[in-house]
Structure 1
Amino acid sequence: MFAEYSAAELTSIFAMQGFAGLILFSVFVLMALGLAIIFGQMGVINMAHGEFMILGAYVTYLTSNVFANYLPGIYEAYFFVAMIIAFFVTGALGAFVEWAMIRHLYKRPLDTLLATWGLSLIMQQLYRTIFGAREVGVVLPDWLMGSYQVTDMIEVPINGIFVMILTIVISTGVWLMMQKSRLGKQTRAVVQNRPMAAAVGIDTGRVDRLTFALGCGIAGIAGSAFTMVGSTGPTSGQLYIVDTFLVVVFGGATSLLGTIASAFTISQAQSTMEFFLSGSMAKVLTLLTVVIILMLRPEGLFSLKIRR
């Protein structure tokens, strides 16, 4: 497999695939952060999480069109406005979904899974009806175009670097919120001991709703970042939902650090193997490895001690 490449070529291949893996890692982290918060606290398997991501992508697409048609002078800044709008739109929809559907299905995981799967199909059809079946894309601002030449054989796209920086900022913000803010402390209290948290006056229902909204809002930001590296279609979210669940379970559903470590491991493995093998074989080998590790360590790479 490696014999046909020289040492210099292999070095360049691993460097390029490693950077491609970092871009995939960025999307995985932004997707998995929201899913880990929801699944870790509420035990809800949100099969529509990918569709919330795509909602954020479509919001970004619409915002870019508005700026291109009506505010061309400040088009360079459209993404930051789109990201904020995507966060609040997907977060508001998430809060509504939790109030209208999810809160009635707590402690019924199979029903929750089926309900959110049905929601994902409804959202896909709505996207297909509103935006059409074809994929759409945004026109990147000039400052995100081009690539950075590292060596004669290695170059990295500027938009990929931007997505990685955005991921670092969002991940740091989520960690600070979970550790320092009032909502974060209440969320961690509910995760560790829900009855005791309720006994000391924490409104666990409100915390659940805000947590679900936050997770969906982060998925919306992931959708905005997704437009930087790929095109958006009605079913694009389904391409990432399985890998995202894999990241969350492998890393430990209650650990943000585990989610990040898991996303890095899986993205790098897939990106490197896809160059030398087929994409499907790379996924099979990655999944097989993760399953074997989970058989030895069912709680994932990192786990939080939870009082029952």
Structure 2
Amino acid sequence: MDALISPLLNGSAQGALLLLAALGLSLTFGQMGVINMAHGEFLMIGAFTAYLVQQVIGSSDLSIPVALPVAFVVAGLFGLLLEVSIIRWMYHRPLDTLLVTVGVGLILQQAALQIFPSQGVPVEKPGWLNGQVTVFGYDWPLRQVFTILLATVCVAALSVWLKSTAFGRRIRATVQNRDLAEVTGISTRTVDRLTFFVGSGLAGIAGVAASLIGGTNSQMGTQYIIPAFLVVAAGGIGQLKGTVVAAWAVGVVLSYFAYWTTGSLAQVLAFILVIVFLQLRPQGLFTVRTRSLV
């Protein structure tokens, strides 16, 4: 029984963390067509922000709730700076954005090495995340439950924002026909900037969650960027519901493979399965009728 339950629960938490990392890509990649390889470094920025907030506040019980919105803003501002300074000149040139953002990611990694110790810095788990919840005889750590709840809140908030707000409608209009959107009075530059801000900010929230599970280091973003891209592609470009399903599936598959083999081999096997799936169904789980996240 434990061989079935523990990988399922651990994989669900791992999938939630992948989902947090992939949500921002669903905006910047799925909506705007920008291949941002520095997205993982925005996740790293969120993790280090959690550490700095903890040093300022002192109490880990209070620092994590404060760090979540702060990391969103800090990572979002870094993303906005990247869009304003570089990305704005490269829309419709995805390969150029890939090459440039790889360089930006390397710069951010080196900057982190100059500011923080090479082995990383610890983010203390708050006291209210100590303990476990017993599920079918398995003691499920509360920090994993927290990751799932955080991902659920972020997905719900993003879905409502895109579907029920005027700005969400402006995003869909800009993606479907930029020229027509401009004719109707929509400031597509404002849409681009704010979309990149929100997408990068979501990576910052993912960084806070990741810091509670695996700590922080300058290379942590590289652990999530490729799986996050695969999750977005497998779910269907621009499809929020597909991203949710694909993230959970990849997380659970990784967990079961890791239970039966080793962690590194599990990643290889899971990535092979995703690649085979994309060969059989290149459009992803859900067919894309438009490029909007609905």
Tell me, yes or no, whether TM beats 0.5: yes
* TM bucket normalised to smaller: over 0.9
Q: Deviations over 1:228-286 (max 9, x none)?
A: 21111000110111101110111112100010011011111111011112223322322
Q: Which one of the candidate residues 101, 111, 118 is aligned to 1:133? A: 118
Aligned residue in 2 for 1:267 = 251
Q: Which residue of 1 aligns with 2:203?
A: 219
Q: Which moved more, 1:126-135 or 1:194-203?
A: 194-203
Q: Which residue of 2 aligns with 1:4?
A: none
Residue 300 (str. 1) matches residue 293 (str. 2): no
The answer (yes or no) to whether the contact 1:252–1:258 under 8 Å persists in 2 is yes
Say which of 146, 168, 175 aligns to 2:131: 146
Asked whether the 8 Å contact 2:41–2:221 carries over to 1, the reply is yes
Whole-angstrom distance in 2 between the partners of 1:200 and 1:261: 35
Which of 84, 101, 117 aligns to 1:99? It is 84
Pairs aligned (count): 291
Instruction: Name which of 7, 15, 28 aligns with 2:5.
Output: 15
Identity %: 40
Q: One-letter code of the match for 1:216?
A: S
Which protein has the larger Cα radius of gyration, Structure 1 or Structure 2? 1
Query: Is 1:206 the equivalent of 2:196?
Result: no
Normalising to structure 2: TM-score of the pair? 0.95
C-alpha separation in 1, matches of 2:243 and 2:257? 21
Q: Specify every segment of 5 or more residues in structure 2 that has no aligned partner in the other structure, as ranges.
A: none
- More deviation, 287-296/113-122: 287-296
- The residue type paired with residue 102 of structure 2 is W
How big is the shift at 1:294? 1.5
1:113-262 aligned within 5 A: 113-152=98-137, 154-262=138-246
3-state SS in 2 of match to 1:234:
coil
Which moved further from structure 2: 130-139 or 212-221? Answer: 130-139
Q: After the TM superposition, which of the residue ranges 122-131 and 290-299 deviates more from structure 2?
A: 290-299
Report if the CA contact (8 A) 2:48-2:216 is conserved: yes
Greater shift in the superposed pair: 298-307 or 261-270: 298-307
Cα distance between partner residues in 1 of 2:82 and 2:165? 24
State the superposition RMSD in angstroms.
1.4
**Under a length normalisation based on structure 1, what TM-score does the superposition of the two structures give?**
0.91
Task: Report the alpha carbon displacement of residue 151 of structure 1 after superposing the two structures with TM.
Answer: 4.9
Residue 53 (structure 2) pairs with residue 63 (structure 1): yes
- Kept in 2, the 8 Å contact 1:137–1:230? The answer is no
Residue type at the aligned position of 2:43? M
Can you list the C-alpha shifts for 1:64-103, whole angstroms capped at 9, x where unaligned? 11111xxx4xx42221111111111111111111000100
Cα distance between partner residues in 2 of 1:83 and 1:210? 19
- Secondary structure of the structure 2 residue equivalent to 1:40: coil
Of 16, 30, 33, the residue aligned with 2:20 is 30
